[in-house]
């Protein structure tokens, strides 16, 4: 264990101001996949009420014997005090009795004294067929006079002997064979994605609709929020998908935007804005490879990441999801992230399908055009086609070059100035860009997944979205799969009808489904549909946290360092203050634990304060600087923002985030200016202690112009995630400051829109600014930064060849160095 984490021998003094750590609040939880009924005493039964259940789905190879597990449980967990007899019989399914299986009936018995949870097995023998067949089902019915009975079981004789199941065939041939066997309803099922929480209570919907995908939104977790709990839950859904006749597996998706943020104990990286400050494509690729490994180990083969937007207005609440304001930076690092997620083989247990989002220009919307009470998010991009091609599209070109598997349209609209303003078109309806630019002009052969109920914003708006018009418009624009978390059944019904009515062509449906099936074959889901838990023990491991810690250190940008205030001396008496010094939630930001994130102990990790305490012997902590500063050599003030995500993070946007973690309390007003309490702490500490260091923990620049004169050293720490020790590494000189600003740092909150290359460009700190200090440094590091400076020089134009060359070189190195 490293010195940063081993604090047992350190002496320290801390003023907590009475503040106690907060417990992690409850988040959305899963409903058990087994369908049961409420247990009540059965007529004539003695002793504890008993409930009998069976394995919901039992998969069996053609010709083998299926073994159905029947379980008895008591209401109080005690042993049975009376016998329980359960009668069973095979029912009528799609398999033919005697020809496909041996029909049967019988009784299983549980004797008095049997412990709750006792199991019995029913054997159902199948008969081997002479030719290939689709999957067939055999229901097993249960009844009992001695106990309540839950749902029976469904034995599924696996599909076999069909070309699409032959892994030796090229993927395109497998897709063509499978597509030719599908009904319209089955095809539309593949285009439908539902949310976990809305399927868990009725898992039969997976089978009945033939759903192609399920997602977990922010904060949507199984009741058992552990790697095993996730894998078990997803496997349960997968069993339901495999109970369909063609046995097309689900593809499960989640927003692993800076780590598997929904999973307790996962390794959380700096958000993209911090990774942008590293300017290190190989580090980004390695970090996302780690995230892919942790995500895939829980049974999830698909992430809705990376966000490759170019953030042009820092008032946007999703600025931290961007790698920066320059398209070349977003191009290089976006391509590296895709390479890290996907690796060289999607069927590896360390790979996940990546999603380039949000297509396109979501970071280039005009302030004041936001959707609803958002001020900028989901707003309107009011630019020319040439501007969008020069500024917003290059990251997608780079992502396509490294084979990104899926693309997600933005909630926002585009209003071409070429055509005269006043005709905004929602991106989910934008055929010119989705079908035209993306698929036809640039040959994208992956699939397009809508954002969360994204098509519901296509006008005219309605109370019963998704309307037929919204569905038809978006499908014909080129969207292939639809994230319909709640109204998935309505979507399915209306799209089937639209095709039957001729509003959507069969060819368009076949194109969409072929793209989705191709991804599933390439991910190896037909061969291995269930969770590969091989690497579950690496989740949150020291090795993975070391990768994140290195990323944190590389993301720190030293903006000012008067009198060589940094690096700190571990022998100094250090006074730490500020609300973001000892708060994992604040330093992790949104998309951690819940959608909007929350302050406090959101997950496991090391706070910035804990990183400092692990190095220095004499540390005092006072959150509001109310403790005496006498005797302190250095003051370290950690200020900045509290968590937020899309929409609710907009400057001037809504304070109510409607997040379960909030407990009905509004969040603080979002601003580019520091909160008054942060200013007070800076002024007090910097006035009373000779050397004053300020760290800004935030998802975007915070205006510090008025305080800059009091500050000796200023650091942009961004949202570092769970490994706060990485911040201490650069503060104490264990690592050298190498971070560069990925966005320009404004002088005033009244004039926040400042981007490199703008006329009259005059920020407080320019794009690419970053001082350094002593520490480990190599010729390789220096050459890398020199090459990146050349690629990102605004005078050389947007996304020049040098940037693309870096991306290509780093992806090649990634494959050689970190791909198993």
Q: Are the beta carbons of 15 and 620 closer than 8 angstroms?
A: yes
Sign of the torsion angle spanned by Cα atoms 269, 270, 272, 276 = negative
Tokens of 31: 């409903």
Q: Are the beta carbons of 537 and 506 closer than 8 angstroms?
A: no
Catalytic entry in 646, 659, 678, 734: 646
Q: CA angle, corner 244, sides to 239 and 248, nearest 5?
A: 75
Spatial separation of the C-alpha atoms in residues 565 and 728, rounded to whole Å: 14
Please give the distance of CA 252 from its chain centroid, rounded to a whole number: 11
Catalytic, 646? Answer: yes
Spatial separation of the C-alpha atoms in residues 429 and 529, rounded to whole Å: 33
Catalytic, 451? Answer: yes
Q: Please give the full DSSP string across 4-39, using - where no structure is assigned.
A: TT--TT-----B-TTPPPPPPPP-B-PPPSS-----
Non-local CB neighbours of 752 within 8 Å, separated by 6+ positions = 313, 314, 315, 651, 672, 703, 746
Q: Please give the full DSSP string across 557-602, using - where no structure is assigned.
A: EEEEEGGG--SPPTTSEEEEESTTSS-HHHHH-SSBSBSS--SS--
Q: In Å, how far are 327, 379, 391, 712, 745 from 752, measured between CA atoms?
A: 19, 18, 19, 24, 8
Instruction: Give which of 736, 691, 735 is closest to 714, Cα–Cα.
Output: 691
Tokens of 78: 């005690």
What is Dmax (Cα atoms) for the chain? 89
Spatial separation of the C-alpha atoms in residues 170 and 547, rounded to whole Å: 37
Tokens of 659: 């997040």
Catalytic entry in 313, 362, 377, 451: 451
Active site residues: 451, 646
């Amino acid at each position: 264990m490293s010195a940063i984490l081993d604090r047992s021998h350190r002496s320290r003094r801390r003023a907590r101001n009475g503040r106690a750590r907060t417990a992690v609040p409850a988040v959305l939880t899963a409903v058990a996949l087994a369908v049961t009924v409420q247990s009540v005493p059965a007529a004539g039964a003695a002793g504890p009420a008993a409930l009998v259940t069976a394995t919901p789905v039992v998969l069996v190879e053609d010709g083998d014997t299926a073994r159905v597990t029947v379980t008895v449980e008591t209401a109080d967990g005690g042993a049975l005090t009376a016998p329980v007899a359960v009668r069973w019989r095979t029912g009528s399914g799609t398999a033919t009795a005697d020809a496909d299986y041996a029909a049967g009936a019988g009784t299983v018995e549980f004797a008095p004294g049997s412990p709750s949870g006792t199991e019995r097995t029913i054997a159902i023998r199948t008969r081997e067929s002479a030719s290939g067949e689709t999957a067939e089902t055999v229901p097993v019915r249960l009844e009992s006079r001695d106990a309540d009975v839950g749902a029976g079981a469904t034995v599924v004789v696996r599909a076999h002997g069909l070309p699409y199941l032959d892994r030796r065939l090229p993927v395109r041939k497998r897709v063509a064979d499978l597509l030719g066997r599908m009904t319209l309803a089955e095809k539309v099922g593949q285009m439908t994605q539902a949310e976990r929480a809305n399927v868990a209570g009725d898992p039969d919907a997976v089978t009945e609709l033939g759903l192609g995908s399920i997602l977990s939104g922010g904060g949507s977790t199984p009741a058992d929020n552990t790697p095993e709990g996730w894998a078990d839950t997803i496997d349960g859904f997968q069993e339901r998908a495999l109970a369909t006749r063609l046995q097309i597996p689900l593809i499960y998706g989640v927003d692993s935007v800076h780590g598997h943020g929904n999973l307790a104990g996962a390794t959380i990286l700096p958000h993209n804005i911090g990774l942008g400050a590293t300017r290190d494509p190989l580090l980004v690729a390695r970090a996302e490879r780690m995230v892919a490994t942790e995500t895939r180990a829980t049974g999830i083969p698909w992430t809705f990441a990376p966000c490759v937007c170019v953030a042009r207005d820092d008032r946007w609440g999703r600025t931290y999801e961007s790698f920066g304001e320059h398209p070349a930076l977003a191009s290089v690092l976006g391509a590296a992230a895709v390479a890290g997620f996907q690796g060289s083989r999607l069927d590896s247990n360390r790979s996940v399908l990546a999603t380039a989002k949000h297509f396109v220009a979501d970071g280039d919307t005009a302030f004041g055009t936001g959707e609803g009470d958002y001020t900028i998010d989901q707003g309107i991009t009011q630019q020319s086609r040439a501007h969008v091609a020069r500024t917003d599209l290059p990251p997608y070109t780079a992502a396509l070059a490294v084979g990104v598997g899926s693309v997600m349209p933005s909630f926002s609209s585009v209003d071409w100035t070429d055509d005269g303003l006043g005709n905004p078109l929602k991106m989910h309806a934008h055929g010119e860009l989705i079908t035209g630019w993306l698929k036809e002009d640039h040959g994208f052969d992956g699939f397009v997944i809508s954002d969360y109920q994204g098509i519901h914003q296509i006008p005219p708006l309605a109370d019963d979205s998704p309307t037929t018009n919204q569905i038809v418009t978006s499908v014909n624009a080129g969207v292939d799969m639809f994230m319909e978390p709640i109204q998935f059944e309505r979507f399915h019904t209306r799209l089937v009808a639209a095709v039957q009515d001729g509003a959507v062509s069969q060819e368009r449906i076949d194109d969409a489904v072929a793209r989705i099936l191709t991804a599933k074959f390439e991910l190896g889901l037909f061969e291995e549909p269930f969770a590969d838990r091989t690497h579950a023990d690496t989740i949150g491991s020291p090795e993975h946290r070391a990768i994140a810690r290195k990323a944190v250190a590389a993301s720190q940008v030293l903006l000012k360092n008067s009198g060589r205030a940094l690096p700190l001396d571990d022998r100094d008496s250090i006074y730490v203050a500020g609300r973001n010094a000892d708060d994992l939630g604040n330093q992790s930001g949104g998309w951690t634990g819940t959608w909007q994130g929350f302050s406090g102990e959101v997950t496991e990790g090391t706070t910035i304060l804990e990183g400092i305490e692990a190095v220095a012997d004499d540390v005092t902590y006072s959150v509001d600087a109310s403790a005496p500063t006498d005797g302190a050599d250095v003051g370290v003030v950690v200020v900045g923002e509290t968590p937020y995500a899309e929409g609710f993070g907009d400057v001037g946007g809504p304070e109510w985030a409607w997040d379960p973690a909030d407990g009905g309390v509004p969040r603080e007003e979002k601003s580019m200016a520091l909160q008054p309490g942060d200013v007070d702490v800076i002024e007090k500490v910097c006035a009373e202690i000779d050397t004053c260091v300020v760290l800004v923990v935030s998802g975007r620049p915070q205006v510090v112009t008025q305080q800059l004169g009091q500050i000796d050293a200023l650091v942009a720490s961004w949202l570092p995630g769970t490994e706060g020790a990485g911040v201490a590494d650069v503060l104490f000189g264990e690592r050298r400051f190498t971070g560069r600003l990925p966005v320009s740092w404004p002088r005033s909150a009244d004039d926040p829109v400042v981007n490199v290359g703008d006329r009259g460009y005059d920020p407080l700190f320019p794009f690419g600014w970053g001082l350094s200090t002593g520490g480990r440094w190599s010729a390789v590091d220096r050459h890398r930064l020199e090459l990146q400076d050349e690629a990102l020089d605004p005078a050389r134009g947007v996304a020049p060849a040098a940037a693309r060359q870096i991306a290509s070189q780093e992806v090649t190195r990634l494959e050689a160095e970190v791909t198993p």
